[in-house]
Chains A and B, each alone.
Chain A
């Protein structure tokens, strides 16, 4: 599949996964791969500290869009972060609380509102993303979704709010967000994992939960940290080498073989359990996360996308 066509098939890509699977790296890689096809990309980070922007060498990242990558022939990446608290203050400001929204935040009333309406913050973050989808001139919007075990909770929020707040502005907001989530041309989730047992299990669970409970279409899964194929690991180290060197060679080869076997097993299991295409990103042994590294990963992503079948 042509990468340009790939990135044109869904405007918003929500990149989600558990902690430690390299979700921010995957988001940054996708953003770069899209920018290199000449697209303008908005990379959105949700809550917490920015993890993807520093990979482009950008110091900080604020609520306002900032350019972090710009190519001569048109591709570019903007980034901005959305914090749940700010999204809530902003939304209240737009709904009759302009003068007191900040004071509400300070006094703790905001916490009461958020507690009284579970999911409101997540909904408003998604609402902000939906607003960006409509306002932003970007060709592709890549969302680095909240880490930890919250991807499903985050994406389920609009359903929860729609069911508790049956009428009024919140209900309308939830309905609008769901409309975006349910339209594969507008939005898809891309799940990130590692070729290991627990991350694969979690990806499978998350994928079914997102499809069944949220009815959000899934794009290809992103598998990080793939060991490059290496044949001939059964060879015997040359006898003329020192004993310690031969031992090290044997140990490194055995470990590589074991890990490769484990990886093959897990990738097969993932493929069997989930009928999703996979974008595979290589493990980088000499990794210093930076633009050079991202370029290499983006090359791999593009190569992987090239070999994908077209998806509906």
Chain B
């Protein structure tokens, strides 16, 4: 298996890793590579820099796929995740009627959940991914993941709401009148009163109203969460870890691989961006040349070469340590580019580097 085969065969590719390593650009390049192979590929980006939308040749991305025209036999589409709009659509899908939809969308607790809650962005990225995958319109869905410190936020995201719903105290909160639980309910009632004192009665009322309104939708949400988790664990899905050779980002990447392994999953590929170009001379020879040239006109060249060799050796060592943690993953090194990606041509260069 190599990167080309992965892009050719998988239905879902999840690009993960910390921020600042070129994850969004890599995601777009993967989708472009798939389109070049004749596949119908859509890439879900999370808050891409404006230059990426520019690079894709469109003014702006929105929550539905925008087709990107280009010289590829397949289809390339890109969209930018709108967390709130996606969440609203999910509510509409599961609700019994318009009235339930309105009551939920107007609820302040829901607004908090759908906009501000940590994990919501991951949750909706997974939703969007599952949605596009099940639409049947796409051979491959590539998803960029939100920058996060918690490596597994993405995997835990589909359970975000069901975890709240499974909560025993929540069950008490929404059923204050059930006879057998009256004694327990008095305890719950006292918790609610104390909570109101701390965070304010309005806040608590909104939460209770949200959970009451939500009744009847739990099953739909739980089934969906189970289905999306199954999709993430399926053989048709590949996790691609994106990293850069900087020491700090590689230590985050290592941590991520370990967490993925603990969850019974593995990275199918590791893409390391911003690698320095390989030298022909050894690091020792580069160091020796620096000494030999030190007193002549070409002294600066010797220094540049020795610095390059030392930095590249350090990068190699760190990347090697990373791939040892994921012996089955395909490693792709993408060289440091002279500038950020501003156009389709540069993106195609990266797509070609990924699949060469």
Which A residues fall within an 8 A CB radius of B? 18-22, 24-25, 47-49, 51, 92, 95-97, 100, 107-109, 111-113, 115-120, 146-149, 164-170, 196-199, 201, 230-233, 235-238, 241, 244-245, 247-253, 255-256, 258, 262, 285-289
How far apart sit A109 and B195, CA to CA, in the bound complex (Å)?
10
> Do B116 and A285 touch (CB < 8 A)?
no
**Known contacts A22-B248, A47-B149; A255/B21 CB under 8 A:** no
Q: Which of B191, B297, B308 interacts with A252 by CB under 8 Å?
A: B308
A265-B237 Cα distance, complex, nearest whole Å: 41
**A199, closest chain B residue (CB):** B20
Cα-based distance from A78 to B170 in the complex (angstroms): 41
Is B298 touching A100 in the complex (CB atoms < 8 A)?
Answer: no
Q: How far is the CA of A289 from the CA of B247 in the complex (A)?
A: 8
Contacts from B to A (Cβ < 8 Å) = 18-21, 47, 49, 51, 109, 112-113, 115-117, 146-150, 163-164, 166-170, 191, 194-195, 197-200, 203-204, 206-207, 244, 246-249, 251-252, 255, 276-277, 279-281, 285-286, 289, 293, 296-305, 307-311, 314, 336, 338-340
- Could you say which residues of chain B place their CB within 8 Å of the CB of A201? 49
Query: Smallest CB-CB separation from B113: which chain A residue?
Result: A115
Cβ-closest chain B residue relative to A283? B311
In angstroms, how far is the closest chain A Cβ from the Cβ of B274?
10
A163 to B19, CA, bound (A): 31
Partner of A51, one of B203, B248, B279: B248
Residue of A231, A232, A262 with most partner-chain B CB within 10 A: A232
Whether A148 and B164, one on each chain, are in contact in the complex, defined by CB atoms closer than 8 angstroms, is: no
Cross-chain contact of A285 among B18, B109, B311 (Cβ < 8 A):
B311
Distance of A72 Cα from B207 Cα, bound (Å): 55
> Are the C-beta atoms of A18 and B289 separated by less than 8 Å?
no
Q: How distant is the Cα of A166 from the Cα of B298 in the complex, in angstroms?
A: 69
In the complex, besides A164-B200, A198-B340, A285-B307, 9 extra interface pairs with C-beta distance below 8 angstroms are: A21-B20, A22-B248, A112-B207, A115-B109, A116-B112, A197-B51, A249-B289, A252-B309, A255-B276
B244 contacts which chain A residues (CB < 8 A)?
Answer: 20
Main secondary structure of the interface of B (DSSP, over half): helix
Expressed in whole angstroms, the Cα–Cα distance for A25 and B246 within the complex equals: 12
Closest beta carbon of chain A to B190's beta carbon, Å: 10
Cβ–Cβ < 8 Å partners of B112 in chain A:
115-118
Residues of B within 8 A of A289 (CB): 247-248
Partner of A198, one of B49, B109, B299: B49
A241 to B307, CA, bound (A): 19
Contact residue among A168, A235, A256 (Cβ-Cβ distance under 8 Å from B197) = A168
Assembly CA distance A286 to B312 (angstroms)? 9
Q: Do residues A148 and B149 form an inter-chain contact, with CB atoms below 8 A?
A: yes
Q: What chain A residues lie within 8 Å of B204 (beta carbons)?
A: 116
Interface centre among B20, B115, B146 (most CB of A within 10 A): B20
Instruction: Return chain A residues, CB-CB under 8 Å to B20.
Output: 18-21, 198-199
A252-B304 contact in complex given A92-B198, A100-B191, A148-B149, C-beta closer than 8 Å:
yes
Taking CB atoms, residues of chain A closer than 8 Å to B115 are: 118
Enumerate chain B residues within 8 angstroms of A146, measured Cβ to Cβ: 149
CB distance from B18 to the nearest CB of A (A): 5
CA distance A186 to B246 in the complex (A): 33
CA distance A201 to B48 in the complex (A): 13
